[in-house]
Structure 1
Amino acid sequence: MAESPVSFLLDKLTTLLQEEVNLQRGVSDDIRHIKGELERHKAILRVADALEDKDHELQEWIKRVREIAYEMEDAIDEFNVRLVDQHMHGSNSSLTHKIVFTWKTLKARRQIGSHIQEIKSRLDVISMERPSMYGIGSRSSQRLSSRLDSQGDALLLEEADLVGIDTPKKQLSDLLFKDEPNRDVIAIYGMGGLGKTTLAKQVYDDPKVKKRFRIHAWVIVSQSFKLEELLRDLVQQLYNVIGKPAPEAVGQMRSDKLKEVIKNLLQRSRYLIVLDDVWHVNVWDSVKYALPNNSRGSRVMLTTRKRNVAMSSCAEFGKVYNLEFLSEHEAWSLFCRKTFQGNSCPSHLEQVCWNILKLCGGLPLAIVAISGALATRDKTNIEEWQMVCRSFGAEMEGNDKLEDMKKVLSLSFNELPYYLKSCLLYLSIFPEFHAIEHMRLIRLWIAEGFVVGEDGKTLEEVADSYLKELLNRSLLQVVQKTSDGRMKTCRMHDLIREIVTLKSKNQNFATIAKEPDITWPDKVRRLSVINTMNNIQQNKTFQLRSLLMFALSDANHDFSLHAVCSTGYRLLRVLDLQDSPLQVFPAQVVNLYLLKFLSLKNTKVKSIPASIKKLQHLETLDLKHSNVTELPVEIVELQRLRHLLVYRYEIESYAYFHSKYGFKVSAPIGKMQSLQKLCFIEVDQGSKALMIELGKLTQLRRLGIRKMRREDGAALCFSIEKMINLRSLSITAINEDEIIDIHCISKPPQYLRQLYLSGRLEKFPQWIQSLKNLAKVHLKWSRLKEDPLVYLQDLPNLRHLEFLQVYVGDKLHFRADKFQNLKVLGLDEIDGLKSMIMEEGAMPGLKKLIIQRCGALRQVPLGIEHLSKLKSIEFFDMPEELISALRPNGGKDNWRVQHVPVVYSTYWRDGGWDVYSLDTFGERETDSSAVMRSLELPTLWKV
């Protein structure tokens, strides 16, 4: 994996030579020599990656090349930092200062010259030892680079789409529905990679299961679990679905008190709790007393790789379900579907494919992984496929299946191009239980330098294609999607993570400080601190490029880089302090001149210093959900900033959400012409000038505006016409009675996918009808006199539509064949609405319907029975007349919703939820019985 740092260094050397930096005489020649030698090594390194694990001598040579690349990169960056530092201190115009500045820069040039000569000498020695004896040549190093676009949208790829899952899914469902009042435990036991979690998730997500078990939660345990964190997670999930915020005291509760809270929440309800990835018997022993045996038919599902854990958890009541390997027929079906995109295997490849499949041993994850590696290969060249089989076949025969699988998955890793290897290795930095945010990951990759520019694409778009390719190769899984179908979070499968983490450690890619007694490398370049800073070993050599912290529990709120390491952090590119117990902006940060990514998300930081202008390389500044409300005027001097994210929510009660709060800035924001994301900027002061400034930000992909006034509409429209790259636009008026005047947009941004408008509309903006890519529309406080459906019903990609106080008419008519791709519809406080008509063929794909606080709607929507794909209907604070008609026992219109798995009627009463189930069970479930709703609250409450 030395190819990655070598490739990044070659790009940096090219830039250094092109910029004609005034180096010492002869240093440029040395740099060209180093560059030439590394380019010759690069061809070898590409193939050596696949052989590295087999030969320790080759492994050692690769390690030395990697260290040379790192050291050369450090020398260049240290030189640049010294020049910047001396320039800032030498800006005084006096002759004396100029002489001192010239002398200091000359000293810096001499130092880098000496360092580069030393590196050149060491590289020449390594070059003499070039491993030609391995038969590695440029021809064999060629690698296919075609993308997997032919496999379709990666975001639709589900690991759950595996053959052979229907039978075990039915068997497990039968165990859940068994007429047994005791709290049974179902332990799914089997080797890693068999799909235990996938199977459990398929059962857990089944609408029939959700209907039977009103209270349900999924807890990822992991190998290094902490009991109190596990219990807090469970408490939080229970309160979330109940529809109430968890008490603040939960964060300080000890395990005994947390168990008591959980037991009280579950005591009176039938529940389903899943404990995923349990490694130790004491996990069940620690948790079981919080899960009451309340004689209501409750169930606990548990997944584990260890037989003793499964047997122990089921010792009293329950059953061990042993997940088997795929049969030969099932394995072949899965292999062909993943390798040949659903087509049959070409006859000339059948024998070699059977040989490859045999090595997978019926392990689904291994089959999916090797299929991803083979999917891009030339299907006409049988020798290439035979070479894949030969490269690991002999070594895998007769070995333990776990080792077999690891070697298969290692091949999948080795088949990746160098830019994807670094991206995948980077995921080892995140904790094993962590759902990784899509955009956070992309911005981190870019800051690390992993993303190679492509003509016609932004770096973010290239990084997104990397992510999709990893998904297509089944090396990542989608955890959560947005309502318009985009990926929100992802993670690695456990076993892929094991292999990637091992490679990361062996190659000194990253150091994970999650235990106090781990073995640390000699030099630390990327550091991930998990849980506590006490795990950091201070007697190590730090050459930090990246520092990320996760779930810190340290009581010390005064974070300092010196607390991490006394030296070796000047070259930091990434500083991610999200969720840290941080109250003030760390003073040392402004001296990290090379910093590209800075996150203070979910901290208590209140202000940003003017000296932030020093961070001239900064590309991402993430202050979401911090206490920052105003940015200094100097922020506009950050010319490379691409993502400026500053907003937070404030919740008055669970029934009422304030709008997002953004930030104020009095500087000419138009200077920041690299900005792609700007949200949320408050424009109530000096707003017209600010609207004009926004028009200069032609690279914007996402724009969020708060506190807009009517008189500034024309200026904003003029600016929006210049934002041809805009994907998301959010505008909120200064109050709900203020008119948003955005009608005069003659050339709207045609790539727009998301539109949020909160404020009065005198008429519906006509230009919205032309937005063929629009996927999500939220309208709030519009109070239109004309039917808004007419203007939205033909949008071909609209998936999510929500209205709050949008229409003053008394009828909404959804016509046949309209809203063809709508998945989510939410209607809130349409006070005059008396009837809804849904013609057959309207909204054919609708899955979720929310109707709330429409007090005049007393009739069940006519035609709701035609919505055959509906998974849930939620009524909030709706008239009793309508609800009575839907009750399962005697409701005249109950037949209209019998096909819908989940139907709720919910009221907010005296600070709590009063929930009625309108399905065939007809149960009344109150807040006091700790009912949790299966779906989130309407998002309009938060927009």
Structure 2
Amino acid sequence: MADAAVEFLLENLKQLLVHHVYLIKDVKSDLEKLENDLRLFKAFLKDSLKRRRKDAVLRELGRQIQSVVNEAEDVIDSFVTHAADNRNKNFISKFWSAKIDIADQVDSVCRKIKDIYGDKSKFDIAFLPVDDVDPPERIEAPILRKHNVVGFEDEAKTLMGFLAEETDHLDVISIIGMPGLGKTTLAGKIFHDQQIKYQFPVRIWVYVSQDFTNKDIFLSILKEFTKISEEISSKSNEELAGLVANHLANVKFLLVMDDVWAPADWEKLQIALPTSKKGKVLITSRLVEVGWYTNRSRGPHMLRFLNHNESCELLQLEVFGKREFPQELHFEGTEIAKRCCGLPLAIVVIGGILVKKFSANGDMSVIRRAWEKVTESFNTYLNLDNDKRMAKIISLSYEKLPSHLRECFLYVGMFPEDFEIPVWKLIRMWIAEGLIQRRDNISLEEIAESYLDDLINRNLVRAEKLKTDGRVKTCRVHDLLRDFCRTEAGNEGDNFFQVVKISDGGFQPPVYEEYKCRRLCIHSEVSRFLVEKPKGPTVRSFVCFSKDEVPIQPEYISAIPANFKLLRVLEAKPIKFTKLPGELYQLVHLRYIVLAINSTTAVLPSAFSKLWNIQTLIVDTTSRTLDVKVDIMNMIQLRHFKTNASATFKIVKNSKGGEQIQTLGTISPESCSEDVFSKARNLKKLGVRGKLAWLLENKKGSFDSLGKLGNLEKLKLINDIILCSGAERQLRGLPPAYKFPTKLRSLTLCDTSLDWAHMSVLASLDKLEVLKLKDKAFWGETWEATDGGFRHLEVLHIGRTNLKNWIASHHHFPRLNWLEIKNCEDLIEVPIQLADIPNFKLLDLHRSKNAAKSANAILGIKRRREDEVPANPRPFKLSIFPPEAEKERCEN
């Protein structure tokens, strides 16, 4: 955990010494000395990573380093805050006093570093070769569950179908899922099935685990064929692999490899397997990557969660041995089953606790009260399991994480239960927190996205919604994984984060105590919390995701900047600001801020320029417009500016910044000037909202300036009809295709009311992959597609229009993958010829009932063609909403 903290502090020192030396010039030499000491820590932490996982002394050393680094960070940031404030106020005497104070504190930190390095024996352990450490403790194979197996009938049927398929090669089937989902149980159900026993005369089960050796696995397989003598045991891995391959080549076998942890593990074991088509291998793993690596043609079989009925059934069997709750416990039982979120291991663990409460007392009223307490304090009771099964099985995945992913994983524990996490928000918070390490030629956003993909691949985070390009849009974390994160965060030496909760009428931890954690999360009773004026002098993140809007008096809102002076992240959208407190601009370390301004006329003051570290600035407002007084092009660290209003701003021609900006949205058409775009030349995403006629039809060449954005990939144009006069609500046309940005991949139009004849312009955009036509973007009863366009279009969204007749064929959209039609109630049919597009895989129909019949026809054509190619891994999907239309589809 200390690794990222050291890296981030070193980067901060570098930025201070390069860009803000005027604030620290009097202590520059002290900070340079500290920087050198920190580099020693960095080297030690890098070389001791593997050893720290197994050595308690080194783990404690890591915690000490973390503590010292946090202290150094607090000292420096407090001084910078003080220096910046005094520089603004010109308080020379106070500044000099602070200078003396930081010199003493930095010296104190350096002495602590020397003390840690004083015991060289600790560090010698870290640099020992891997082979010199004690052999890893053997992990026992899990007990194979044979009774009370619920909810796997459909999964088993699918997998047994794969096992029955004839192939011309060794076939590998993988079962992938999160910890505790029942992968081993499902594999065991199949392994002991009578049909499988008949089909495969030789069946072998080996438990791989994290710390397997090739020899152990090879000997486990060989013992099914022969007695393991000393002569066999003494053979080399290569010789044993040859023996295994020879035995398996002559029989029809099923080999189950339970708990494979990495593609490299499969690579080591694969050498012992024959290429014979007689055999089948069934793998269980937590990593999606393992499934794809072992069989790229089929890919992994993702094990689903239990549904609510299955969860109740499993809980009933665990507690009562039959498929029903006593009538007096029905409500509590179903609620407890719901809290397990479809995870079989959680149900089994909580069932073991409930059965004791049921059998210990025959009085049903007493039992019911006990079950009510379990419902109210579910997580507490789950942790009463003496064997700590949930914690152990999750910690295996956590311990396997590389250092750069550990804090990223723990971080998701800050979000509330059942919260759908926007990926855009999560990765920018990670960046602001310093959890993402720089790499050459790769943006921080791309690195962060790869980190998230890795956590999803490991089944520690679940992808919830996908973007049109297949990337993850929102994600979730299972409640039990979130609880693990919160427990582990408290165990870390730096108090990684603290969730404040209401308990027994008060806050826990109590507000009257100073919060010592690095990150503070408060998701309910926010108004009451701020009224009590909490304090956290070392808190770096104040995070609030309350579902309710929270109107609070300005003097209580001021408690945030006044009492949390070192904040880097302020996520405060639920708190409605009627006026921004002046203390806000003292938070010079802020990198990420989300504000909600509750006002008919919203203003972003020029004082925001004092927040020189801001990377992400998000403003949500009830106003349709936002007057941006601050010169955002002069905020040299700013990467992303977002608002739901039409933001109007001007820039000074000698502004120093702009090159870092990747996102601007949504800005007014009047702000789309050459001055803006010449500075924001690395802009990737742009949203424009307001009177679009001014932008698209203006003789001054505003759209010409937009077209020069050579890196722009995503453009959203919203014609705000409330701001438009009657004549401006329907656009007369679009600029020619050559005036659009050359790299444009995604275009969204909203309320533009264009005639379908102008679609030919969009069809000519050579790189366009995603086109979203929302809320009367085009208007008219007939759209006849023209030849030669949309050569790369993969996603098409059509929403709320009076379109009746859509005339098109497969050659008009040769690469179409996903078609979504929303609220097009007049549309008679979806062109049947679209079924001939090879890549067309998904059709969503929302409240477009008249077109349901043609959608069913397309489904029928696609299914018939898929039957001709049964190995197709991506079948065509049709979604019709509302359910009445779905019912009609089935009847037809």
Please tell me the TM-score bracket, short chain as reference.
0.5 to 0.7
**Contact 2:734-2:758 at 8 Å conserved across structures:** no
Per the alignment, residue 376 of structure 2 pairs with: none
1:918 is aligned with what amino acid?
E
Q: Post-superposition shift, 1:440?
A: 0.5
SS class of match (1:741): coil
Q: Post-superposition shift, 1:138?
A: 7.6
Q: Post-superposition shift, 1:680?
A: 1.7
**Contact 1:545-1:571 at 8 Å conserved across structures:** yes
Larger displacement relative to structure 2 (789-798 or 628-637): 789-798
Per the alignment, residue 465 of structure 1 pairs with: 450
SS class of match (1:528): strand
**Contact 2:763-2:789 at 8 Å conserved across structures:** no
Write the mapping of 1:295-306 to structure 2, written as runs, cut at 5 A: none
- Matched residues in 2 for 1:854 and 1:18: separation? 62
SS class of match (2:764): helix
SS class of match (2:741): coil
- Matched residues in 2 for 1:370 and 1:349: separation? 22
Deviation string for 1:582-614 (max 9, x for gaps)? 544344322212212111259679633523332
Q: Post-superposition shift, 1:470?
A: 2.2
Per the alignment, residue 283 of structure 1 pairs with: none
2:862 is aligned with what amino acid?
S
**Contact 2:602-2:627 at 8 Å conserved across structures:** yes
- Matched residues in 1 for 2:24 and 2:131: separation? 37
Per the alignment, residue 368 of structure 2 pairs with: none
**Contact 1:335-1:371 at 8 Å conserved across structures:** no
Write the mapping of 1:694-709 to structure 2, written as runs, cut at 5 A: 694-706=677-689, 707-709=691-693
Per the alignment, residue 332 of structure 1 pairs with: 257
Per the alignment, residue 919 of structure 1 pairs with: 889
SS class of match (1:662): strand
Per the alignment, residue 101 of structure 2 pairs with: 111
Change (3 A) 1:838 1:771: same
2:260 is aligned with what amino acid?
F
Q: Post-superposition shift, 1:630?
A: 1.9
Change (3 A) 1:823 1:568: same
Q: Post-superposition shift, 1:806?
A: 8.6
Per the alignment, residue 932 of structure 1 pairs with: none
Matched, 1:681 2:667: yes
Per the alignment, residue 633 of structure 1 pairs with: 629
- Matched residues in 1 for 2:290 and 2:881: separation? 42
**Contact 2:58-2:122 at 8 Å conserved across structures:** no
**Contact 1:47-1:141 at 8 Å conserved across structures:** no
- Matched residues in 2 for 1:834 and 1:490: separation? 34
What is the TM-score normalised by the length of structure 1? 0.60
Of residues 454, 467, 481, the one that matches 1:482 is: 467
What is the TM-score normalised by the length of structure 2? 0.63
Of residues 788, 794, 798, the one that matches 1:798 is: 794
- Matched residues in 2 for 1:373 and 1:109: separation? 58
Change (3 A) 1:27 1:666: closer
Q: Post-superposition shift, 1:729?
A: 0.7
**Contact 1:743-1:766 at 8 Å conserved across structures:** yes
**Contact 2:604-2:626 at 8 Å conserved across structures:** no
Deviation string for 1:524-569 (max 9, x for gaps)? 3211112124579978753121100122769762266778679652
Change (3 A) 1:814 1:565: closer
Change (3 A) 1:853 1:737: farther
Any unmatched runs of 5+ in structure 2?
A: 133-148, 159-176, 187-252, 275-280, 295-384, 865-875
**Contact 2:558-2:581 at 8 Å conserved across structures:** no
Deviation string for 1:360-412 (max 9, x for gaps)? xx997xx4169879999xxxxxxxxxxxxxxxxxxxxxxx9965774564454
**Contact 1:708-1:740 at 8 Å conserved across structures:** no
Larger displacement relative to structure 2 (534-543 or 743-752): 534-543
Per the alignment, residue 726 of structure 1 pairs with: 712
Matched, 1:3 2:3: yes
**Contact 2:590-2:614 at 8 Å conserved across structures:** yes
2:286 is aligned with what amino acid?
V
- Matched residues in 2 for 1:415 and 1:665: separation? 48
Q: Post-superposition shift, 1:447?
A: 1.3
Q: Post-superposition shift, 1:58?
A: 4.0
Deviation string for 1:144-196 (max 9, x for gaps)? xxxxxxxxxxxxxxxxxxx9986255899xxxxxxxxxxxxxxxxxx993327
- Matched residues in 1 for 2:89 and 2:499: separation? 36
Of residues 269, 276, 291, the one that matches 1:345 is: 269
- Matched residues in 1 for 2:464 and 2:49: separation? 30
1:789 is aligned with what amino acid?
A
Per the alignment, residue 778 of structure 1 pairs with: 773
Larger displacement relative to structure 2 (721-730 or 57-66): 57-66
Q: Post-superposition shift, 1:575?
A: 0.7
- Matched residues in 2 for 1:401 and 1:526: separation? 31
- Matched residues in 2 for 1:345 and 1:578: separation? 51
Matched, 1:585 2:510: no
**Contact 1:5-1:69 at 8 Å conserved across structures:** yes
Matched, 1:741 2:734: yes
- Matched residues in 1 for 2:665 and 2:534: separation? 42
- Matched residues in 1 for 2:469 and 2:269: separation? 35
**Contact 1:599-1:622 at 8 Å conserved across structures:** yes
**Contact 1:783-1:807 at 8 Å conserved across structures:** yes
Q: Post-superposition shift, 1:114?
A: 1.8
Matched, 1:511 2:498: yes
Deviation string for 1:93-150 (max 9, x for gaps)? xxxxxxx54x4444333222122112112221121035537621186599xxxxxxxx
Change (3 A) 1:827 1:36: closer
2:83 is aligned with what amino acid?
L
**Contact 2:852-2:885 at 8 Å conserved across structures:** no
SS class of match (1:725): coil
Report how many residues are paired.
659
**Contact 2:464-2:476 at 8 Å conserved across structures:** yes
Matched, 1:492 2:477: yes
Deviation string for 1:604-631 (max 9, x for gaps)? 7963352333222222221235446222
Q: Post-superposition shift, 1:699?
A: 2.0
**Contact 1:669-1:693 at 8 Å conserved across structures:** no
- Matched residues in 2 for 1:793 and 1:333: separation? 51
Deviation string for 1:475-518 (max 9, x for gaps)? 32102223442312112334443433232111211111124345
- Matched residues in 2 for 1:88 and 1:678: separation? 30
**Contact 2:856-2:889 at 8 Å conserved across structures:** no
SS class of match (2:79): helix
Per the alignment, residue 442 of structure 1 pairs with: 427
2:698 is aligned with what amino acid?
D
Per the alignment, residue 750 of structure 1 pairs with: 743
Q: Identity of paired residues, percent?
A: 20
**Contact 1:527-1:546 at 8 Å conserved across structures:** yes
Of residues 386, 403, 408, the one that matches 1:418 is: 403
SS class of match (1:524): coil
**Contact 2:53-2:399 at 8 Å conserved across structures:** no
- Matched residues in 1 for 2:29 and 2:610: separation? 32
Change (3 A) 1:486 1:33: same
For the aligned residue pairs, the C-alpha RMSD in angstroms reads: 5.0
Per the alignment, residue 531 of structure 1 pairs with: 524
Write the mapping of 1:358-369 to structure 2, written as runs, cut at 5 A: 367-368=285-286
- Matched residues in 2 for 1:852 and 1:411: separation? 46
SS class of match (2:425): helix
- Matched residues in 2 for 1:69 and 1:107: separation? 23
- Matched residues in 2 for 1:663 and 1:524: separation? 36
Of residues 550, 568, 571, the one that matches 1:573 is: 568
Per the alignment, residue 67 of structure 1 pairs with: 67
Higher fraction of helix: 2
Deviation string for 1:28-68 (max 9, x for gaps)? 55444433333223333346555657665544433222121
Of residues 673, 676, 681, the one that matches 1:693 is: 676
Per the alignment, residue 41 of structure 1 pairs with: 41
